[in-house]
Amino acid sequence: MKRILPVFGVSLVIAFCLTVASATAQDFDWHEYIEQRTDELFDQVVEWRRHFHENPELSNREFETARYIERFLRDLGLEVETEIAHTGVVGVLEGGMPGPVVGLRADMDALPVRERVDIPFASNVVSEYMGEEVPVSHACGHDTHMAMLMGAAKILTEKKEELSGTVKFIFQPAEEGAPEGEEGGAELMVREGVLENPDVDVIFGQHIWSLKPVGKIGYRAGGIMAASDRFRITVHGRQTHGSTPWDGVDPVTASAQIITGLNTIVSRQTELTKEAAVISVGRIRAGVRHNIIPETAELIGTIRTLDSDMQDKIHADVHRTATKIAESMGATADMEITRGYPVTYNDPDLTAKMLPSLQRTAGDVNVEHINAITGAEDFSFFQMDVPGLYFFIGGMPPDMDPADAPSHHTPDFYIDEEGMRIGVKALAILAVDYMQMD
């Protein structure tokens, strides 16, 4: 005869099982396990990094990179989705117990930069960029980002039954910007639902830094990287012979005055004690001959800000400065400002909660509060939808003078692979620590 438990008896059994499961999760020493497995897997992480480094692909063209990652995630037994924002790949790991959904992100794309570093796995890849044949290399460390996230994925998957929640491993294309005329990157991933089904509660990301010694972590609450906007100013004059400038209106001279005026926006009109800001003109194009004053001149540049109100103010200042200076010289100026990446903004509450996890990863003395950086990151689009924490890990050889360390986006960019050890541990520890918080 089958015995039927009364309702209250069933409830007690369920409650008991959940209590035992919770106690088991709390008893498992995740930190010791992550430390040990990171060391055991590290040679494999290096191997993955070198594969990506030797086979770089440009933004929105990460086809082979995506296939490599997809195979890896499927071999782990994860639920995998591909072709998000063209070439993005996402693996979903469901833990053995209920809990929050944590996103971990790595970017995938390389740059049109020739590699000059003498290493056996240097890139010799040539591809097409804006209609031109260009050398390609991972001159910003995205190869290490992918390898570190793969390491964290393997570590967490091996003990998924001890995991109180779900992890989304997000491999994102086109962080460096989609090719002209295309969409891509984090903004498109978010629009296509990468933070949904299941809905992500928080997201973590990291960037290796060639100017910070191996073993260090740099963090900052609030704005850690700048908003990045592009501007184009077209100055219209009146063409004339170079020997008789009084017969025309010189847009080149007007452009020179506009550039001087733009520089005073930051130095004289912006409250820099609040946040930093940058306005830079990167290209000037005008004329065809030495003895012809042209009809038009074009200025293209970037605006970097760490505060949204300041961003709006500087946009208005740039427009006013360009048009009024041009007008004062008898010319006119058309103004176009394109908003790019928003401020990479670390949620202050999340940053405070997770700081002990970063300190546990690298040691208190090695976790440093840093100044904001005027570079930009499209991780900011994830942070606009869910709380996020973005931080930097050291990739510079410990014995190197930072003054001699090659910068990112340069032919001599170099990363000490030992820095990836901290990165693997950081991603895994952040995920499990967040899941175990009340």
pLDDT tens profile 96-133:
999 999 999 999 999 999 999 999 999 999 999 989 99
Task: State what percent of residues in the chain have pLDDT above 70.
Answer: 94
- The amino acid present at 215, given as its one-letter code, is G
Q: Within 13 Å of residue 377, how many CA atoms lie on the same side as its CB?
A: 29
Contact 368/218 with Cβ under 8 angstroms? yes
Is it the case that residue 290 has pLDDT exceeding 60? yes
Banded pLDDT at 16 (limits 50, 70, 90): very low
- What are 133's strand-pairing partners? 128
Which burial class, exposed, middle or buried, applies to 371 when counting CB atoms under 10 A from its CB (0-12, 13-18, 19+)? exposed
Please check the confidence at residue 19 and state whether its pLDDT lies above 80: no
Distance separating alpha carbons of residues 259 and 235, to the nearest angstrom:
12
Q: Is 160 helix (H, G, I), strand (E, B) or coil?
A: helix
**27 falls in which pLDDT band (50, 70, 90)?**
confident
How far apart are alpha carbons 255 and 404 in whole angstroms? 36
Longest Cα–Cα distance of the chain, Å, equals 111
Across the range 205-234, mean pLDDT stands at 97
Rounded to whole angstroms, the Cα distance separating 417 from 208 reads 10
Q: Give all domains of the chain, ordered by start, each with its CATH number.
A: 29-225+343-435 (3.40.630.10), 227-341 (3.30.70.360)
Find the range with the poorest average confidence among 3-12, 120-129, 178-187.
3-12
What does the pLDDT read at residue 249?
98
Instruction: Tell me 39's DSSP state.
Output: H
**Residues involved in catalysis:** 341, 417
Q: What percent of the chain has pLDDT over 90?
A: 93
Residues 126-147: pLDDT tens digits?
Answer: 999 989 999 999 999 999 999 9
Instruction: Say if residue 296's pLDDT is above 80.
Output: yes
Confidence at residue 7, expressed as pLDDT on a 0 to 100 scale = 44
pLDDT of residue 26: 58
Indicate if the pLDDT at residue 413 is higher than 60: yes
For helices 63-75 and 142-158, angle between their N-to-C axes, nearest 10 degrees = 10
Instruction: Please report, for residues 25, 98, 175, 428, 431, the alpha-carbon distance to residue 437 in angstroms, rounded to integers and kept in the order given.
Output: 12, 13, 31, 15, 10
Burial of 43 (C-beta count, 10 Å sphere; 0-12/13-18/19+): exposed
Q: Would you state the pLDDT for residue 205?
A: 98
Beta strands of 237-352 (E only): which ranges? 240-241, 277-286, 292-293, 296-305, 332-341, 344-346
Give CA separation, 216 vs 207, 367, 420, in Å. 12, 6, 11
Categorize the per-residue pLDDT at 438 as very low, low, confident or very high, splitting at 50, 70 and 90: low
pLDDT (tens digit per residue) in 353-378 = 999 999 999 999 999 999 999 999 99
